[in-house]
Structure 1
Amino acid sequence: MCVREVKLSLFGFGNVGRAVAEVLLEKEALFREKYGLRFRVVSISDTSGTVWLPEGIDLREALMVKENFGKLSAWTSDYEVYNFTPEEAVREIDAHIIVDVTNDKNAHEWHLAALKDGKAVVTSNKPPLAFHYADLTEEAEKRDLPYLFEATVMAGTPIITLLREGILADSIEGMEAVLNATTTFILSQMEMGQDFERALKTAQRLGIAERDPSGDVLGIDAGYKATILHCLAFHPITFDDIAVKGIAEVTSGEVRRARERGRTIRLVAAVEKGKVVVEPREVPLGSPLAVESHENVAIMRTDLLGELVIKGAGAGLKETASGVVSDIIKASLHLREV
């Protein structure tokens, strides 16, 4: 098999970025043998700077530096560290695919710059799509470039691929989904007798909730994801067009009374054409929506298939890396054909 080399620029080298690097390392032989692809990471950016080496960065060494020193800028003995803005890095560095695993809320600007520069984009970053879906996907289509974002919703569970490629003959009538694992964990702790504050502290102690948990508990994360699902299933909208209420006001009494009725409270996103509502809702214990742990689930209703349930990991480093690296492979195979 003829092996094609694909140059990657990786933006973000926190937990997810390192998980992506580890998958690229561990499965290098598989990707070469199965897909005829060899990946060369030519740059890595974290908040301290950008390491850029056109011949390719040693990922094992990069992982070691980050683990030992906490920042790429400590790598000065072997590599020059550049203080590029993301847009400067996108324009300056010769790469086939820009991989964004940051939380940069303004990343749509450099995603667009990458597309205009003829580069494919793979991202797990939700706000660019939740606010600028139409601009980004139209630019990508105009240039016949991949703009892929599987890991933005349900980590590596392929709901995006299903909606984009899998059920093209169906019209989606609506969907209900549980899309945030942190709130599921907190609500589960409340079912075991903890109040909201204590359950949140438990989640933070275990690393399930962020130090600033507002994105999860106020429903913002689930809202971003539900917005993206609406864009795929129906037509582009933005996060500003939807209704969101988180779990911060859910009381222990409400949780207990729901259990007494054979029900459980989950943060549910209801997605219908032109309408998205994210709110805590009672669901029967036997419902697919009564997920546990880090699982996410979506129940879709279509005109041909009827009810379709997709369920799987919605969080986790390996799981998110699965979605990101799958998109890198998909983008590479598309670029090989053009």
Structure 2
Amino acid sequence: MEVKLSLFGFGNVGRAIARVLLEKKALFRERYGLEFKVVSVADRSGVVWLPEGIDLREALLIKETLGKLSSWTNDYEVYDFTPEKAVREIEADIAVDVTNDKEAWKWQLAALKDGKAVVTSNKPPLAFHYSELTKEAEKRSRPYLFEATVMAGTPIIGILRESLLGDTVQRIEAVLNATTTFILSRMEVGVEFEDALRQAQRLGIAERDPSGDVLGTDVGYKATILHCVAFGPVTFNEAKVRGIAEVTAGEVQRARKKGKTIRLVATVERGKITVEPKEVPLDSPLAVESHENAAVVWTDLLGELVIRGAGAGLKETASGVVSDIIKASMMLED
């Protein structure tokens, strides 16, 4: 079965997905009977569209040497489409959104209305418009998949959506942001907050603008998505969010003396989302290090379920997105 993909976003994550599609082409054909054809790729400079399929090796080369897709003139036409126009004009089976566009919910909705499936790693559309998007997908009988929005490729969304169908989820506690974990870990060995943040930026763990991480917004988005899946639709506006900006080195060291560590913890219960720095015991599943994320899910039947794994990284995020692309393709086949 041939599946046509429109890829929106060709930064680090978009390129990681392109590499997986190239490297595992034979595997996907052999294992699932799927042949992926990327018919369009978009970055901020424009949309490259070729109905016969784009040469992903060439696309990667152009982006990595020239920095933008609009520099690609040989054999390809670059269109100045808005994403909304692109999803309407371009014939594809799945629109893949790996942008950070907060307004992407509008063109995700347009894609669904046009009969396309949507796969995304983009958090704000779900954190603010989950109900609207999932209802439209249901109405059109089209997959709308978003595993990589929470914990990258570690499949917490899949577990909540598909594996605990007889269970009632009671509570989720999770550490969902690698940047804050890194900063708090550095503060445990005496590094001041600002210095720890600068180290994280130098290592590429924190963004140039780290406010989404340190103020807790990123975790707030993820916690909102977990609530939507586990308990039902809410929006980010209903979450109580406090980040780590005010945590002092003294507080971190006092926690260590008590055999505890401070982590930015999301607590999700029905109708209630809280994100705040919390002391957790050193033997707790939430006492994660490095780029690991962890979630503890309590249910009435299973009891305590610990989900732990990579919550960031390019290959890890690509794992979640590509898995959803395959899943969406198989759902379309049915």
Pairing partner for 2:247 from 243, 247, 250: 250
How many equivalent pairs are there? 334
TM-score (norm: length of structure 2): 1.00
Question: Which residue does the alignment assign to 1:103?
Answer: 100
Per-residue deviation at 1:78? 2.3
Letter in 1 for 2:92: A
2:89 is aligned with 1:92:
yes
CA distance in 2, matches of 1:336, 1:233: 27
Pairing partner for 1:269 from 266, 284, 288: 266
Pairing partner for 1:321 from 311, 315, 318: 318
TM-score (norm: length of structure 1): 0.98
Pairing partner for 1:38 from 24, 35, 38: 35
Letter in 2 for 1:336: E
Give 1:286-301 correspondences, 5 Å limit.
Answer: 286-301=283-298
Question: Which residue does the alignment assign to 1:216?
Answer: 213
Question: Which residue does the alignment assign to 2:111?
Answer: 114
Letter in 2 for 1:213: P
CA distance in 2, matches of 1:240, 1:37: 40
CA distance in 2, matches of 1:229, 1:150: 11
Letter in 2 for 1:76: T
Question: Which residue does the alignment assign to 2:257?
Answer: 260
Question: Which residue does the alignment assign to 1:58?
Answer: 55
Pairing partner for 1:282 from 279, 285, 297: 279
The CA RMSD over aligned residues, in Å, is 0.4
SS in 2 for 1:264: strand
CA distance in 2, matches of 1:40, 1:192: 49
CA distance in 1, matches of 2:234, 2:275: 15
Letter in 2 for 1:135: E
Give 1:77-156 correspondences, 5 Å limit.
Answer: 77-156=74-153
Question: Which residue does the alignment assign to 1:228?
Answer: 225
CA distance in 1, matches of 2:314, 2:74: 30
CA distance in 2, matches of 1:74, 1:81: 9
2:11 is aligned with 1:6:
no
CA distance in 1, matches of 2:45, 2:140: 32
Percent identity reads 77
CA distance in 2, matches of 1:86, 1:166: 34
Per-residue deviation at 1:235? 1.1
Which aligned runs of 4 or more in structure 1 are off by greater than 6 angstroms?
none
Pairing partner for 2:188 from 173, 191, 196: 191
State the Cα deviation string for residues 33-91 of structure 1 (Å, max 9, x = none). Answer: 00000000000000000000000000000000000001000101221100000000000
SS in 1 for 2:223: helix
Unaligned runs of 5+ in 1: none
CA distance in 2, matches of 1:167, 1:234: 12
Per-residue deviation at 1:193? 1.2
State the Cα deviation string for residues 180-223 of structure 1 (Å, max 9, x = none). Answer: 11100110111111100000000000000000000000000000
Letter in 1 for 2:308: K
CA distance in 1, matches of 2:181, 2:74: 45
CA distance in 2, matches of 1:185, 1:141: 39
CA distance in 1, matches of 2:39, 2:142: 20
Question: Which residue does the alignment assign to 2:168?
Answer: 171
SS in 1 for 2:96: strand
Per-residue deviation at 1:155? 0.1
